[in-house]
Amino acid sequence: MHFQKFWVYRKGEPIVKDIYFRNIDKATIPREADLLLKDDNTVVIGPSNPISSILPILLVGDIRARLKDKYVIAISPIIGKKPISGPAASFMRAKGLDVSSNGVAEFYKDIIDVFVVDNRDKIIDKKRLDDIELYVTDTLMNNDERSRELARFVKNLV
């Protein structure tokens, strides 16, 4: 089922058994992104759905492998056991991940150096993060000022 049909028409109600991206093997890294990955050492993964928003990027070419040599900061889109918005819970379960910041960290563990979780998230398992630095702050961006605050926080980590 196409994402649009699942999320808009069916209101995210069907149980998701798996996620795949048709023709992802034919996708190529855009020239601009390729140049940035060559020139810049720091990459920030915003608090987006790790499966529907970030995974397709990681599957293009050698992007995931190239991120292993970068300083990567990821922000969790989950607080407690609930995503901030969207179908992240359904998609993470379909990929065998715990719907939590722990599950997000597990998904990114081979590419991230820093993991940022929300200060309301009380279930993060620091022992599971291995060599990943953990930072806690307000990640809920429900207005412009809060968005700017999170951006300043992440900028200070670089």
Q: Does 144 map to a domain?
A: yes
| Whether 50 contacts 122, CB under 8 Å | no
Q: Does 5 map to a domain?
A: no
Q: Per-residue pLDDT tens for 39-68?
A: 999 999 999 999 999 999 999 999 999 999
Q: Does 49 map to a domain?
A: yes
Q: Per-residue pLDDT tens for 130-155?
A: 789 999 999 999 899 999 999 999 99
| Whether 75 contacts 112, CB under 8 Å | no
Total domains present in the chain: 1
Q: Does 114 map to a domain?
A: yes
Q: Per-residue pLDDT tens for 82-136?
A: 888 878 888 999 999 999 999 999 999 999 999 999 999 887 776 667 789 999 9
CATH of residue 45 = 3.40.50.10680
- List the domain range (segments joined by +) for residue 27: 14-157
pTM higher than 0.85 for the full model?
yes
